Structure 1
Amino acid sequence: MSGDRLGAPSPGRAARLAQAIRPRQFLAYLGVGLVGTGGHYLTLVALVRWARLDPVVATTCGFAVGAIINYFANYHLTFRSRQGHAGTMARFFVIALAGMGVNAGVMAVCHRGLGLHYLLSQVAATGTVVVLTYLGNRFWTFREVRHD
């Protein structure tokens, strides 16, 4: 059986994915993401500890805080975009909403389903979402527009 039938990427697909991730840009994305993730986690912890919100609800609020931070930092620093904010911001928040859904889903499975502590669950969710949102933002939100 081929790797495709089992869901594993073929060698050609894996090579294309490896080429799609620009190491310096991805490192900048991770650095910017640390700041946004800090805002996310601070909001999450504050809402769970002091507002007594459910961790899945609190992480969704925190994700929104992190997304706002990440948009502006990625626009200016990671991707150095020259596109207008209207279209870029709309695309960014489509990717962010998809990431928010994945984040909440992983959080729910890990915390509610598996009984893991909410912060450990959030670490798993963050690891899942970071690669997905980078690729979405790299190839759609901040795609390079050629002027040939």
Structure 2
Amino acid sequence: MEGVPTQTTPPQTRAERFGDALTSWATKLPKSLRFITPEFVGFAVLGTFTFAIDMAILAALKAWTEWPLPVDVAIGYLCAFGLNYVLNRTVNFKSHAPVGGQMLKFTAITLGDLAFTTIVTTWLNWLGVPFPIARVGAACCVGLFTYVGARFWVFRKEPVQD
């Protein structure tokens, strides 16, 4: 019909296309592994990437500063989580919701994760575990919590209204 507006889906951004390419193989997993969603795969890949950034910053701070370990861990973690938020919002969860509310929710998760990560990393290091291994151990503990918070609270898909 002429003159009647049609609803179309906006074209995907470059980041969204990259996210699809990154995670498309997850839909081809065997039935026993179908609980592994493309969003979980994307979160894991992006989390691994930003964790590497976190570790690089941590190593640089340990090598070039005399700051206490908790300060180094906090700085690396906050830098990596800022990057993680942007990548997950644009590449993985493809969110177009207002940034403000999401950023506040993500900040709440990040602060909880940061406190836990700093305490566990420092405690393990105090027990004699080398700090990179201690940091990896702490990251394993918070990864699933962070995904659940991001998927079901921060980047929650709102139901489509008619």
TM-score range, shorter chain: 0.7 to 0.9
Question: Matches of residues 19-30 of structure 1 in structure 2 within 5 Å?
Answer: 22-30=36-44
TM-score relative to the length of structure 2: 0.74
State the partner residue of 1:44: 58
Q: For 1:97 and 1:22, how far apart are their aligned partners in 2?
A: 27
**Displacement of 1:139 after TM fit?**
1.1
Q: Could you tell me which of 44, 66, 77 is aligned with 2:91?
A: 77
Q: Work out whether residues 35 and 69 of structure 1, in 8 Å CA contact, stay in contact via their aligned partners in 2.
A: no
- Are 1:57 and 2:76 an aligned pair? no
State the partner residue of 1:127: 140
State the partner residue of 2:123: 109
Residue 82 of structure 1: SS of its match in structure 2? coil
Q: Could you tell me which of 140, 151, 154 is aligned with 1:141?
A: 154
Q: For 2:53 and 2:66, how far apart are their aligned partners in 1?
A: 18
Q: For 2:36 and 2:111, how far apart are their aligned partners in 1?
A: 24
Q: For 2:140 and 2:69, how far apart are their aligned partners in 1?
A: 17
State the partner residue of 1:35: 49
Amino acid at match of 1:142: F
Q: For 2:123 and 2:37, how far apart are their aligned partners in 1?
A: 31
Residue 145 of structure 1: SS of its match in structure 2? coil
Percent of counterpart pairs with the same letter?
Answer: 25
Amino acid at match of 2:81: A
Q: Give the unaligned 5+ runs of structure 1.
A: 1-20
Q: Work out whether residues 92 and 141 of structure 1, in 8 Å CA contact, stay in contact via their aligned partners in 2.
A: yes
Q: For 1:27 and 1:78, how far apart are their aligned partners in 2?
A: 9
TM-score relative to the length of structure 1: 0.81
Q: Give the unaligned 5+ runs of structure 2.
A: 1-34
Q: Which has the larger radius of gyration?
A: 2
CA RMSD of aligned residues (A): 1.3
